[in-house]
A and B are shown apart, each in its own frame.
Chain A
Amino acid sequence: MTVVYKKSGMLTDAPFHYCPGCTHGIAHKLVAEVLEEIGAEGNVVGVAPVGCAVFAYNYFNCDMQEASHGRAPAVATGIKRVRPDTVVFAYQGDGDLASIGMAEIVHAAARGEKITVIFINNAIYGMTGGQMAPTTLEGQKATTCIYGRNPEINGNPIRMCELISTLTGPTYVARAALCDPANVRKAKKMIKTAFEHQLNKKGFSFVELLSACPTNWGMTTEQAVDYVKNDMQSIYPLGVFKEE
């Protein structure tokens, strides 16, 4: 018998701090597996965000920088500009990327920085305890909109892939969902394509991953993946939004 699946060598042995059923862990694995497959080991710097993934620097088995809230694309820009032949990626959540860091992500994309950004959209602020995120769905409950997000009061969710794909700088923009094995395998393919765009110095590459947060959604694992599959995907359709 041969091993067909094992933990990636691009992950450290540190156990993830994420809650049970949180799909951040799946996203970490996919990025690590892709880094291994493209031979990035020994030539990669990752940038961790502020939010649930703040400790990502403990998990990726490579040089890492921890950015201030929302600024991971700016930090990644600084790294990539002085190390243009090094693979540079940023890993960000929805509050980090689509709220406080909106300027940084849009401008890094517009400049066509040759970096890869992995965007975890779980429609909630996890680390701080379940507040409304920029991507929280209409009607979705959060601790700062306890009756559900009301656009009249709380505004509307932001679709990042659609927004980013209007810019000239990105060459690959895609959205996947971490809700079942088939979709996870698709997500991995997209992440790999995104990193290949960087390796080929094509342009900015961006993959959004719809992700489950059972803890802050107040759901079981099963309910949470159903929510990703049905509710989230109806607002955030999957697919490749731009490929050049």
Chain B
Amino acid sequence: MGKITIEKERCKGCGLCVMYCPKKILALSDKETNGNGYFVLTVVDESGCIGCANCAVMCPDSVITVER
């Protein structure tokens, strides 16, 4: 059981986190943008998070905090 917190204003929507989520619970929003105009990361299924931190490890912008 894990939980991620996303600092959306730092997100650049690169998608590296989405690519490496083993549970495929992450997606880039097709609606929500941040102040810089990037489509930001969203969690599709919060209950599926296992707290592996792959997303945070791959995030170049330190957007994601992971709890387990």
Contact = CB atoms under 8 A, between A and B. Distances in A.
Given A2-B68, A222-B19, A22 B60 contact: yes
6 contacts: A1-B67, A5-B57, A6-B66, A21-B12, A22-B14, A24-B60
Contacts of B13: 20
A86 to B, nearest CB: 25
Interface of A: 1-8, 11, 15-16, 18-26, 28-29, 180-181, 184-185, 214, 221-222, 225
Chain B contact patch, size range: 20 to 34
Contact of B65 (A7, A19, A221): A7
A221 B18 CA distance: 11
A13 to B, nearest CB: 9
B48 interface: no
Contacts of A185: 57
Contacts of A18: 60-61
A191 B1 CA distance: 30
A20 B38 contact: yes
A217 B68 CA distance: 37
A221 B15 contact: yes
B44 interface: no
Contacts of A16: 60-61
A225 B64 CA distance: 20
